[in-house]
Structure 1
Amino acid sequence: MSGLDRSALLGTGLVVLYTLMISSADAITKFIANGYAAPQLFAFSGAIVVALSWGCARLKRAPQSLRTRCPRAMALRSGLTVVGSVAFFYAFRELPLAEVFVFIGMMPIFAGLFSGLMLGEFLRPAAWAALAAGFVGVLCLFPEGLAAVTTGHVIALFACLCGTFSMLLARYIGRHEDNALAQVFYPNAALSGVMALALPFVYRPMPLADLGWVVAYAGFLFVARWLLVVSLRHLAAYAVTPLMNLQFVWMVLLGAAFFAEIPAFNILLGVAIVIASGVVLVWDQMQPAPLDGSRARLVRRPKIAR
């Protein structure tokens, strides 16, 4: 362990576990999306996650863990969570799991582009080279080429933009407070509340088995979002997002097992490139900072209003 940043290594392990949890939730989303509208999933699951967050705070006997010192940033993150969740729901309805991953794979590029502006995390040339390689890999992931863009692809792109900015805000908030539960509680409270308003217009009776899937989805999502918030304290956003490309492994397994979706060779090639670029970025983040301070660090206060 000598010579490595132990905090970054812990963050890496948390993100790996996150990918398994969130991929399981994504598979349930695709299953539910075939028979129900988005508000029916998110109104119930969001309420469950809120209850779990509140329950954990009570068990810790620390109600202050649900308070935030960054209300404006938290409100913006909550709004992005609502919009992004709905967009991902319809992206999973329209596209195979592996194709949605095409756009999830673009998130590190977006994070690299915007983390300097929002967080002051500037990348060294080697990290930019890894991001460029990741972009080439993303291009390989399109099963039928760029000319075959559909509405589902546009929705998936929009969803991933929302997800990227939400994660950058999570890292920003994490610099000012360490209450990860608050970052799970408020976005899901917003999601549940907004979806509950639309629920009467789209509600369909759910058998007990489908309700069980909604509960399972909420459980996976609660654990995943908590893990992501904690990991963003240990790794820069541009290093976390490439590592999230491990979701593809789980997506392939779940897609094949439950939806008979087998990715083509070009998708596998693109994934190999994307994951390799992610490994480079994570390794760069794990190296000890040089004495001259040339490694990417926070060089100015973030400009996001608290």
Structure 2
Amino acid sequence: MRGGAAFGAALVLLYTAFISGADGITKLIAGGYAAPQLYALSGLLVIALSVAADRYPRQRQGLGTLCPKAMALRSGATVLAALSFFYAFKLLPFADVFLFIGLMPILAGLMSGPILNEPVRPVAWAALAAGFVGMVCLFPGGLGGIEIGHVWAFAAALFGTFSMVLARYIGRFEQNALAQVFYPNLALTLSMGVALPFVWVPMPLQDLAWVAGYAVLLFAARWVLVVALRLLTAYVVTPLMNLQFVWMVGIGAVAFGEMPALSTYLGVAIVVASGLWMLWDQMAPVRPGRASAFKLRTDP
């Protein structure tokens, strides 16, 4: 249990580096192109990478799924989260979007009961509350400064968390992590492809290279995250994901000239501490708990 939790935590840290790089490219591309152009092209590349990876002898499991209904829900949530993140990064400073990523542990804690039947321990709820306090510190303008970009960011956190919780649900019944990368990106490519002819703008080779880099980072991030979600509960994974703020500050400063306020760093310290606290709780001996009376009714 302890070894699995430690390995899962290492995978989440690797995920934060990959996804922060992909988010940085999203913000860069969002200034000159519509969302369907980025996601249709990158989705095709991720699909190609998934098919290629499935040819590797140690990975070869096919791209079928034992949970088609849950996979369809995860794919739809991934499409909505991708669109929401695109517009959030377009309208808000890079580090401000992290504020709403900080909400994801709270959302995961709320969703884990009815979807995963994983009641959250009292100490974990305390850590979630501490994470919320840290999230409030991350909002430099106060809650009265909510704009449309913040609405997009909240929607991104909501749908993104739902997608991750479903990934853990699916991971209970199948070990094929690659299928969980393939199908959401297939849904993203098909849905964005419908709109692509209406928004297409010619792209220079440099921007095509950025899109290719985005696809590679996204493919790697989603693959390692699915594996991590099999080893750690969703409400532990999401606080650890808050460590991507370190990457986001660095990318924001170097690439976009954005520097967060001092209160932001205080909030980050609280959020990171709550994540480490929840990891400790995950590694502690399991105590009898009361399961939720509700459960997602889908596959298998």
- TM-score, L = length of structure 2: 0.96
1:72 aligns with 2:69: yes
Confirm whether residue 134 of structure 1 aligns to residue 159 of structure 2. no
Q: How many pairs does the alignment contain?
A: 299
1:41 aligns with 2:38: yes
Q: CA deviation at 1:117?
A: 1.1
| CA 62–279 in structure 1, closer or farther in 2 if over 3 Å, else same | closer
Offset, 1:61: 7.6
Conserved 8 A contact 1:42-1:192: yes
- SS at structure 2 position matched to 1:288: coil
Query: Counterpart of 1:303?
Result: 296
Q: State the 1:287 CA deviation.
A: 2.1
Q: Which of 182, 185, 201 lines up with 2:182 in the alignment?
A: 185
Q: 2:48 aligns with which of 45, 51, 54?
A: 51
Question: Following TM superposition, by how much is the alpha carbon of 1:97 offset from its aligned partner in structure 2, in angstroms?
Answer: 1.1
Distance 1:162 1:193, change over 3 A: same
Q: Does 1:125 align with 2:118?
A: no
User: In terms of mean alpha carbon deviation, does 262-271 or 17-26 score higher?
Assistant: 262-271
Distance between the aligned counterparts of 1:199 and 1:134, measured in 2?
Answer: 39
Matches within 5 A, 1:216-295: 216-289=213-286, 293-294=287-288
- Alpha-carbon distance between aligned partners in 2 of 1:169 and 1:214, rounded to the nearest angstrom: 27
Assess if the C-alpha contact under 8 Å between 2:79 and 2:184 holds in 1: yes
- Provide closer, same or farther for how the CA distance between residues 61 and 140 of structure 1 changes in structure 2, counting only shifts above 3 A: closer
Distance 2:143 2:134 in 1: 13
Identity of aligned pairs, percent? 61
Q: Structure 1 62/15 Cα, relative in aligned 2: closer, same or farther at 3 Å?
A: closer
> CA offset at residue 114 of structure 1?
1.4
Letter in 2 for 1:46: G
C-alpha distance after superposition, 1:182-216 (max 9, x if no partner): 00000000101111110000000000000000000
- Structure 1 length as normaliser, TM-score? 0.95
Gaps of 5+ in 1: none
For the aligned residues, what is the CA RMSD?
1.5
1:102-135 Cα offsets, whole Å, 9 max, x none, are 0000000000111011111111111111111111
Alignment of 1:153-164 (within 5 A): 153-164=150-161
Match of 1:171 in 2: 168
SS in 1 for 2:243: helix
Take 1:64 and 1:198, find their aligned partners in 2: how far apart are those partners? 33
